[in-house]
Structure 1
Amino acid sequence: MEHLKRIKRELAYKGTLINIYKDTILIDNDRETTYDFIEHHGASAIIPIDKDGNIIMVRQYRNAIDDYTLEIPAGSLNQGEDNMTCAMRECEEETGYKPLKAEHLIDVHTTVAFCNEMIKIYYSDDIVPSKQNLDDGEFINVERHSLDELISMIYSGKITDAKTVAGLLALKHKLFYK
């Protein structure tokens, strides 16, 4: 097994949600290679479950893939915010439902090959109607689906978002083995 050591990190781009770096890596104290690295400051997601057992999902346009996706509500941490608070805030902002409590479900590194983004995923079956409060430039349609319907969408390729796939499958496992 080769020994790898980062010997240099150069900031290539500083953004509001991410920073992009060029890393120089020393391999076996012998040769160098470079990697692109995207630094993300953390995010949270939540699976809101209504009183009928349906999951409240958000459908939104994602520029990176130039398509609409069906996802669990999620967003980046605000400065000084803990992950559970972030998940509950994002749920209310995106869906118009406020979780009164939430439970941790799973943590997911979304793209380990080039990014350190970690999304902590929660779920809540204790939600109350509130008011949707979308960010500027955010256009979201709210949908309700059964867990079984969403699992079918995963296996048919209609849901491909990593946090959503991981979260829904983890929830199915948790409920099945409760």
Structure 2
Amino acid sequence: MTEKNAAPDSITTVSSREVYRNHWMRLREDEILRSNGKPGIYGVVEKDDAAIIIPIDSGNIWLVEQYRYTIQERALELPQGGWEMEVENPEELARGELKEELGLDADSMTYLGWNWIAYGFCRQKHHVFLATGLTATETDPDDEEHDLVVRSMPIAEFEQKILDGIIRDNCTMAAWAMYLLWKAKPEVLRQSES
């Protein structure tokens, strides 16, 4: 269930135009009017929903390392992605990404919730799943994932890499925080949310 702030909107859209579109995203520019009477513009990147998966097996966590063009460096992160189309079943997307990037199937996919990715300029949801009971299957990487390297490590090592600044992906850290909060709840509360 989604909660919306009950306060009235403080920005009104006067007009909107699409500036750019490709297979992965849409960019629009909105002319706006703020509640203080000041006009402005707002650029919004629109992307379809994505999934991020926390694959845990026998005290280890599975990650991917890949070159991220926007930051011009390799990044270590949880497997994540979207299909560049509207998705009705986020679990199907998460299972697809798990197979595509790691070559794994999961006996259990636990939905932990969703969050916005960089909502200061982007409209995209990230559905967060815990994947357990992992078994190997074939990978099916996208062309964009040609250099993807699969890593598995103990959870303590993963957390230390976050603290050391080696893992800096905000989506990975947000998903991990969501998992830790979920895990800290008593079992009876977790079951009632299912």
Alignment partner, residue 119 of structure 2: 112
Aligned residue for 2:183, secondary structure, equals helix
Aligned partner letter, 1:157: G
CA distance in 2, matches of 1:56, 1:73: 8
Alignment partner, residue 8 of structure 1: 15
- The answer on whether the counterparts of 1:60 and 1:141 sit within 8 Å (CA) in structure 2 is yes
TM-score where L is the length of structure 1: 0.91
Deviations 1:57-97 (A, max 9, x none): 10011001111111111111454532111011100110011
Alignment partner, residue 71 of structure 1: 77
Aligned partner letter, 2:152: R
Deviations 1:122-155 (A, max 9, x none): 0111111101111113121111112222122112
Q: 1:142 to 1:21 in 2, by over 3 A?
A: same
Structure 1 gaps, min length 5: none
Q: 1:18 to 1:101 in 2, by over 3 A?
A: same
CA distance in 1, matches of 2:154, 2:32: 47
- The alpha-carbon deviation at position 169 of structure 1 amounts to 2.4
- The answer on whether the counterparts of 1:102 and 1:122 sit within 8 Å (CA) in structure 2 is yes
CA distance in 2, matches of 1:9, 1:151: 43
CA distance in 2, matches of 1:57, 1:6: 40
Structure 2 gaps, min length 5: 1-7, 187-194
Q: What is the aligned counterpart of 1:33 among 31, 40, 53?
A: 40
CA distance in 2, matches of 1:101, 1:107: 18
Alignment partner, residue 88 of structure 1: 95
Runs of 4 or more, structure 1, over 6 Å off, are: none
Kindly report the root-mean-square deviation, in angstroms, between the aligned alpha carbons of the 2 structures. Answer: 1.9
Alignment partner, residue 123 of structure 1: 130
Alignment partner, residue 161 of structure 1: 169
Aligned partner letter, 1:74: Q
CA distance in 2, matches of 1:117, 1:145: 29
- The answer on whether the counterparts of 1:95 and 1:132 sit within 8 Å (CA) in structure 2 is yes
CA distance in 2, matches of 1:145, 1:133: 22
Alignment partner, residue 56 of structure 1: 62
- The answer on whether the counterparts of 2:48 and 2:86 sit within 8 Å (CA) in structure 1 is no
Aligned-pair identity (%)? 25
Aligned partner letter, 1:64: T
CA distance in 1, matches of 2:115, 2:93: 16
- The answer on whether the counterparts of 2:23 and 2:84 sit within 8 Å (CA) in structure 1 is no
